[in-house]
């Protein structure tokens, strides 16, 4: 077996992820990166990845730990390797999964960052209303906070995704699963203003006609465009602070739970498959309440 065989094995697995598993391009790219890194490590040991043994997997993960990779990164790479060999066993390419018995470090569970109410209000009011890109930016920020979208879900929106009459947005989430998310009046008003006065000024000849949001080149906005835009506004409101589009998603979920929303309802709104993923936000709320008590109560 040589490097060509290894590359073919990885390509076969990637096609499986893209087809049968229907994973997002970002997730598929992460799998490929992890497997190619492990394959290179196996070559340095004098072998090829598809015939690697348990010792090679352990040595690879140990090296990552020695190089001070984050525990979450090590766990993800171990999961990628485990999934690859599980696929190989299913296809009867080999009889065992050498990664199945390898213990990986537990991921550290950091509480997500949540924006303060005052920061949310400042960020939503910052984009100028007399500029088409300002109208676009305000619509994006409002949707991120009002609907809790992932950035990939936001940039995938089309004009027809929003039903103003029913006040809901049809969004395509992970695994291409579709869900309907309610939209509040402030966000809907920002979207209307953008569609009426902003988008017609931004669209160009050759622009994808259905896309909701365009960048300055008239192309559909990508995740990088949105992250850069959010970072620019955050620097104005929170000097030295960091917040991403996903921070708005964390804030959306936390604020809902703090106001008494049912956990399963929040799970549906976020598009989480596992309720345990949503439960992290209950910890955020408890931490915020404890901090408020410590800062405000005279006998805290």
Residues forming the active site: 150, 174, 246, 249, 272, 281
| Bridge partner list, 171 | 179
- The burial class, CB within 10 Å (0-12 / 13-18 / 19+), for 92 is exposed
**How far apart (Å, rounded) are the C-alpha atoms in residues 135 and 202?**
11
- Torsion angle, alpha carbons of 112, 80, 86, 60, to 10: -120
Question: Angle CA(222)–CA(271)–CA(220) in degrees, nearest 5?
Answer: 15
Instruction: Give the torsion through C-alpha atoms of 199, 201, 202, 204, to 10 deg.
Output: 110
- Distance between CA atoms of residues 179 and 15, nearest Å: 26
- Residue 92 dihedral angles phi and psi, to the nearest 5°: 65, 25
**What is the distance between the alpha carbons of residues 30 and 13, in angstroms, rounded to a whole number?**
13
Q: What is the DSSP string of 200-238?
A: HHH--TTS-TTBS-B-TTSSBP-HHHHHHHHHHHHHHHS
Strands 178-182, 162-163: pairing kind? unpaired
Three-class secondary structure of residue 178 per DSSP: strand
Q: Is 70 left (phi over 0), alpha (psi -120 to 50) or beta?
A: beta
Q: What letter would DSSP give residue 17?
A: H
Say how far apart CA 14 and CA 21 lie, in whole Å.
Answer: 10
């Amino acid at each position: 077996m040589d490097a060509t065989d290894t590359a073919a094995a990885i390509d076969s697995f990637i096609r499986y992820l893209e087809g049968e598993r229907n994973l997002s391009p970002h997730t598929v790219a992460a799998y490929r990166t992890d497997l190619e890194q492990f394959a290179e490590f196996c070559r340095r040991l004098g072998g090829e990845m598809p015939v690697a043994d348990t010792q090679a997997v352990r040595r690879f993960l140990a090296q990552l730990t020695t190089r001070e990779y984050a525990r979450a990164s090590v766990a993800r790479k171990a999961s990628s390797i485990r999934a690859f060999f599980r696929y190989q066993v299913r296809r009867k390419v080999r009889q065992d999964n050498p990664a199945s018995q390898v213990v990986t470090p537990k991921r550290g569970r950091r509480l997500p960052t949540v924006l303060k109410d005052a920061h949310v209000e400042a960020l939503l009011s910052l984009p100028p209303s007399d500029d088409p890109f300002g109208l676009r930016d305000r619509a994006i920020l409002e949707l991120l906070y009002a609907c809790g979208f992932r950035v990939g879900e936001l940039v995938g929106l089309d004009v027809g995704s929003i039903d103003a009459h029913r006040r809901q947005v049809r969004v395509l989430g992970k695994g291409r699963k579709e869900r309907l998310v309610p939209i509040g009046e402030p966000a809907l008003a920002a979207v209307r203003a953008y569609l009426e006065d902003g988008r017609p000024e931004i669209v160009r000849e050759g622009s994808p006609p259905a896309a909701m949001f365009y960048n300055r080149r008239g192309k559909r906005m990508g995740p990088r465009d949105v992250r850069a835009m959010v970072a620019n506004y955050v620097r104005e409101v929170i000097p030295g602070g960091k917040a991403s589009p996903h921070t708005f998603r964390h804030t959306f979920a936390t604020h809902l739970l703090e106001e008494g929303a049912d956990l399963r309802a929040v799970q549906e709104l976020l598009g989480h498959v596992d309720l345990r993923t949503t439960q992290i936000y209950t910890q955020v709320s408890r931490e915020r309440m404890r901090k408020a008590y410590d800062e405000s109560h005279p006998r805290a």
